[in-house]
Structure 1
């Protein structure tokens, strides 16, 4: 009897349990990843799964390249600006067809993986439910460049199957593969056995090679040994799997000493990161590579790399440095001590780019707790800041709150390692608790923590705070890791200092903005009003758009919205002159035309070098009428009680501040109960490449489609959220919604 799979097909290998084990579910996930790679024709792929709280992605399984190449993204917050997170968050396929596009759109990813390749990230979805992301790699599109003598020979061999795929897979096939993964993950969750990220990423072995008989294998070895050049083979992890006698002699070693090792570990003169860098480039790009290097004492060698899905074949031959292609030579020398691994260099560069994008203190904290913990294998992290001669705990992850409270507010002379490193400026590393206890006997053991790195945060020579990483097992902290952590501390300190300055300026700007706009909107019987304001420039939460709702008497109000040319501090200063002037006219009971005329003359007399658009609406709640006049401002949108909405056609007036004799015609409209009047600035609707009339009609359509009845506050939030999600806004946004209650 055959078992029936959840998709309805008969299982060809006999019956299986109704509920697959976790191992079987992960095996099926692996099979679907391999099928996706085969169907799309890519050479590497990975599956990221959402964590149980659906706030982060974790790398679950990878094939085609070593998992360590994606170490910066073993764990990432869903808000991270990387392809996989963007694909899931925005529910769209992210397609990066060449390295230049990767660098332009995702500079952090380009720094962390600086090799010639293309990548696609597809969200794994079923309906609107996201399960994770599918990441696929293939060779990037070719770019012209200088060619050395050996490079020409590599090109003459013709394109390999991998290079033939340089145009990339079909986007529809990528989407289809993601859908297959989504159905599997949905069905698994439906049985109560959701597939969640494992404790560490898994790597799939290369597909099995064609079986060769003993005679064929010996003949191949004999063939290679007869060649005048040396030959060797490395697997995807960079380990020697075969070395010819000639190659071993040229490398200055023996075959037994090389097999199973990596060149940059077993050959001292290959410890320079350039060797591993060339190897990584070949594995990720699947393109032949060439470089030269000098082996001790003074022998120049040429290395030709030919990658495929199982590893890299290398041809080694003596060469003359004068004949090497320009830029290919890399002279290396034996160095004392263990050098920093290239992967760690790229990891620091990745985190440096991420820290440079952090704006506020919250951004820095999120980056440290959500990206640095998995990147460095730490279990806990705490960030402390020096404020007014004391230490303050500003963020932590993994620590018990009670433990950290002991250090919150302690003076900078307190005898604790997190405080001591700030005084000395020198990081402290403790591989075991015994070593930590010898230095600080008063400290008590902490459950599950066995090694610590205490890093001082010094910015511009001034102590900013300290950062503490703790690990769940003893850790030796070799010299190269200490260098990495020390460099990281400097980057964190600079980012934290910038963030605190930003937060200070943000607080100042918000205080100023609050003074320029109404503290609240007045309550009037039968009137429901809501307002929103968003500046366009991050870092200066202030701009030139303004609004006001003025209570004239119990049945009369004036609604005003305007836009000062520009969106900066000067524009905001002009708002501080214009809005009070118009408000005073409203309180005096002026008509819209008269109020705009007086504001226009004020601006002409001031001659600020800026123009102002403005819309003024006089609301008569007793008669259910409104009189409107505009000074070059976008027309309002009105939603009638029956639900249909339209853009009002008002006679356009001239912008304020141009002509002292300008006139502003008025228009009277009915305001029956159930009407909604929307006043807004152009930032709400203006989008590059979209006609402004079409954009305003789109706003009317949104109002017509909105649920009724609905509080104006909720409707305002929905309109602003829609504007944020549909396009990048480059102008300030002000919105004033006025709803006439049906009970009025």
Structure 2
């Protein structure tokens, strides 16, 4: 529900722009952003991670938002930007419990958090620490790093994570005392990791007197060469540190620089550094005139005596040569080397930005390097925005292992794509499938190319390619499924296609028996003998549940040998029996059937086992939902009025529609109360939340309003009394309400509003307007809140419409726009009977298959006057 009083914009304003993006965010948000980024970077460095981040509280109760993401591209991990604290994920558990979680490998993660493994089915370790200060919980600090199979996280790293969370919590507490609102409103800020292992680029220069042969070195070059080199010194001393071929290149550069055109010359040479390694230097030479007496300068001869130098070729030039150097370290220059490779090579950093493109990639993409450098990968290669390709990049970045796959960015061309990840980014090799690259070895038997893929190619069937990203789709879809039927339908739509299955059966445990809850693909009646089977039966569906171990049979023959008395479907192939166990509690069994015999790789077995845990948790949640939903529906049916009072001079009609997302009952209600003295109280309200708690609170509030109204209290006193009662009943719960006292004879109205949408009034001539009632605070917040009264007139033939926000509020749409649409819909019913008008107003809402909120509508009309 939404309260409709005076509200202030959130910290990031209404643009949806994440904070910390620039000066517009102000020093407060800047300080918060810097604090989060620094804490995440420090934690990643201290425990040897390659990525990390911080989840922070949001303005929505029970919802955490990722506020900082280090070392990973944001668009690739958008599904994990939001985390509800009641979800079975480590971030949620750490925030709920205040205890750290350390998952050293995928097996440990699968055992404790199968939904995490199902949504990110890659080998990585993850460490989580609560961000707290005293008893206040701000969020969770997260670090991802390489797994250590079978080796738990050591004590030092555990302590480092704990200290990092505590230090960040204390810093955030200080910011809160300075007035910073510690709620993250939007997407995270993405932070680049510090570069690992790259030496700093150093600069130096020397001045070469061509006539004397002496060179003067600046401090930068002396640092590169080492302190033992004097300055000035003869050019021979400097060239003695070069390889002979590089010394010749330097002399040749000097000759060119002193030539007729005098153009600067650039050479790449290797210099022996004090570390004994060869440093690669870019040398730029530029000649200039010396002073008139420069030709008299001397240098040391071979025997130590002064000897004149007569310049290049023994001729005095009167020139000096200025040479600047860039020390590129002991590594190789990548651009020249990769330009010579017969492969298209592209590199991105850890945030997904293009950092390098070689010449062949330019030709392949048809775009110059300058147009690609610094751009996100999804702009350079738009097809990387497709789910399967995103999943491959996630796999490379999280696992650290090379990934190869086929892509088809254009209908006419397939690409073999190889991803080679490292701490500082990912290098990609792109090979067109119709481009064999260098001439392959010849097969003497066929006189053709040798068969088999090269190192940079991989051929996968289309169904296998698509299967690799299906677990993520299944995890996301299951998080939205509510009922057992919805869960089963999601498994059918996502799990079967992912693994090429054709049959699915789900059994649920009840009273120590397994009952068939869902089936598809099996012959009619084939599964009936197994419906209601006891837990002592010797059948695979029971054994997998009682032992907790999945069973995989590559053929019906293999299954028959293990269970000789089991009826078999002769037209089927392999079978997988998966235990559905949620948090150690047995839920049921899942059977996957295949048309043909097939093997199950270790990766497939791991993923299927993890997905079974995910399915079990979804089914357990669905069973709780079914129970709670039945109770809530019963409560609501009992509490909503079954008929409205009939009074001369006024007609009333009410309508209610339950929400269809999540819990299908909520806290909306309406009522019409005969208060005495011939007056009627028209009431509509909305309790925060859904489910049994909201329905129960709604019943209590409806009873309270009814009691106050029947006692003859004024509208403002009815609202004040209900507000105090709600605070006493359930501190922290709140509700909105609109209460209108109507005199049917005179049409006089006295109305109060507590954070509720304003009513609409349709005049006898069909003109419809929004009534701006004086508003008070929502119920349940302030015990001293007051509720001013607005006096109105309901003319004969006029219609008053009270409604809850579910009728006018839609995702992505301003509520004022929704109210305007409702006003037009009500105006279009001017000639209709009241009951038909109510049905017409909610007709569009009734046809929506996915309503996030329930809807209540109450119409009241005075009959028109007749001559």
TM-score (norm 1): 0.52
Judging changes above 3 Å, is the alpha-carbon distance between structure 1 residues 686 and 307 closer, same or farther for their aligned structure 2 residues? same
Unaligned runs of 5+ in 1: 1-97, 115-142, 175-272, 294-301, 317-331, 333-340
Please report the RMSD computed on the Cα atoms of aligned residues, expressed in angstroms: 5.5
**Partner of residue 519 from structure 2, selected from 396, 410, 426:** 396
**Partner of residue 522 from structure 1, selected from 644, 652, 655:** 644
Q: Can you list the C-alpha shifts for 1:641-690, whole angstroms capped at 9, x where unaligned? A: 544321124455676686879574352423535x4422124564457997
User: Partners of 1:343 and 1:665 in 2: how far apart?
Assistant: 62
- Partner residue in 1 for 2:749: 627
1:411 to partner: Cα distance: 1.2
- Partner residue in 1 for 2:78: 104
**Partner of residue 425 from structure 1, selected from 539, 548, 573:** 548
Does structure 2 retain, via aligned residues, the 8 Å contact 1:597–1:664? no
User: Partners of 1:144 and 1:602 in 2: how far apart?
Assistant: 54
User: Partners of 2:560 and 2:829 in 1: how far apart?
Assistant: 64
1:648 aligns with 2:774: no
Judging changes above 3 Å, is the alpha-carbon distance between structure 1 residues 369 and 561 closer, same or farther for their aligned structure 2 residues? same
- Partner residue in 1 for 2:789: 665
SS of residue in 1 equivalent to 2:646: coil
**Partner of residue 586 from structure 2, selected from 456, 463, 475:** 463
Does structure 1 retain, via aligned residues, the 8 Å contact 2:687–2:697? yes
User: Partners of 1:503 and 1:531 in 2: how far apart?
Assistant: 24
Judging changes above 3 Å, is the alpha-carbon distance between structure 1 residues 719 and 636 closer, same or farther for their aligned structure 2 residues? farther
User: Partners of 1:604 and 1:101 in 2: how far apart?
Assistant: 43
- Partner residue in 2 for 1:500: 623
Does structure 2 retain, via aligned residues, the 8 Å contact 1:630–1:651? yes
**Partner of residue 678 from structure 1, selected from 801, 804, 812:** 801
Judging changes above 3 Å, is the alpha-carbon distance between structure 1 residues 498 and 160 closer, same or farther for their aligned structure 2 residues? farther
User: Partners of 1:104 and 1:448 in 2: how far apart?
Assistant: 43
Does structure 2 retain, via aligned residues, the 8 Å contact 1:629–1:667? yes
- Partner residue in 1 for 2:839: 714
SS of residue in 2 equivalent to 1:711: helix
User: Partners of 1:546 and 1:686 in 2: how far apart?
Assistant: 17
- Partner residue in 2 for 1:584: 707
Does structure 2 retain, via aligned residues, the 8 Å contact 1:162–1:286? no
Does structure 2 retain, via aligned residues, the 8 Å contact 1:536–1:733? no
Judging changes above 3 Å, is the alpha-carbon distance between structure 1 residues 106 and 274 closer, same or farther for their aligned structure 2 residues? closer
User: Partners of 1:604 and 1:352 in 2: how far apart?
Assistant: 39
**Partner of residue 307 from structure 1, selected from 405, 408, 431:** 431
Does structure 1 retain, via aligned residues, the 8 Å contact 2:663–2:691? no
- Partner residue in 2 for 1:408: 531
SS of residue in 1 equivalent to 2:534: coil
1:381 to partner: Cα distance: 0.6
Judging changes above 3 Å, is the alpha-carbon distance between structure 1 residues 570 and 312 closer, same or farther for their aligned structure 2 residues? farther
User: Partners of 2:576 and 2:365 in 1: how far apart?
Assistant: 44
User: Partners of 1:476 and 1:372 in 2: how far apart?
Assistant: 17
User: Partners of 2:552 and 2:734 in 1: how far apart?
Assistant: 61
- Partner residue in 1 for 2:362: 159
1:562 aligns with 2:685: yes
Q: Which one is further off, 558-567 or 417-426?
A: 558-567
Does structure 1 retain, via aligned residues, the 8 Å contact 2:758–2:770? yes
1:691 to partner: Cα distance: 6.9
SS of residue in 1 equivalent to 2:530: coil
1:366 to partner: Cα distance: 1.4
Does structure 2 retain, via aligned residues, the 8 Å contact 1:617–1:626? no
Does structure 2 retain, via aligned residues, the 8 Å contact 1:278–1:289? yes
SS of residue in 1 equivalent to 2:840: helix
User: Partners of 2:589 and 2:688 in 1: how far apart?
Assistant: 45
SS of residue in 2 equivalent to 1:582: helix
Judging changes above 3 Å, is the alpha-carbon distance between structure 1 residues 702 and 417 closer, same or farther for their aligned structure 2 residues? same
User: Partners of 1:309 and 1:145 in 2: how far apart?
Assistant: 36
Judging changes above 3 Å, is the alpha-carbon distance between structure 1 residues 520 and 144 closer, same or farther for their aligned structure 2 residues? same
Aligned residues: 483
Judging changes above 3 Å, is the alpha-carbon distance between structure 1 residues 724 and 708 closer, same or farther for their aligned structure 2 residues? farther
SS of residue in 2 equivalent to 1:375: helix
Does structure 2 retain, via aligned residues, the 8 Å contact 1:593–1:666? no
TM-score (norm 2): 0.45
1:534-613 correspondence runs (5 A): 538=662, 542-543=666-667, 545-551=668-674, 557-563=680-686, 575-588=698-711, 592=715, 595-596=718-719, 599=722, 613=736
1:277 aligns with 2:277: no
Unaligned runs of 5+ in 2: 1-71, 82-115, 124-191, 199-330, 339-344, 346-356, 383-398, 441-454, 456-463
Does structure 2 retain, via aligned residues, the 8 Å contact 1:111–1:346? no
1:531 aligns with 2:655: yes
User: Partners of 2:776 and 2:547 in 1: how far apart?
Assistant: 67
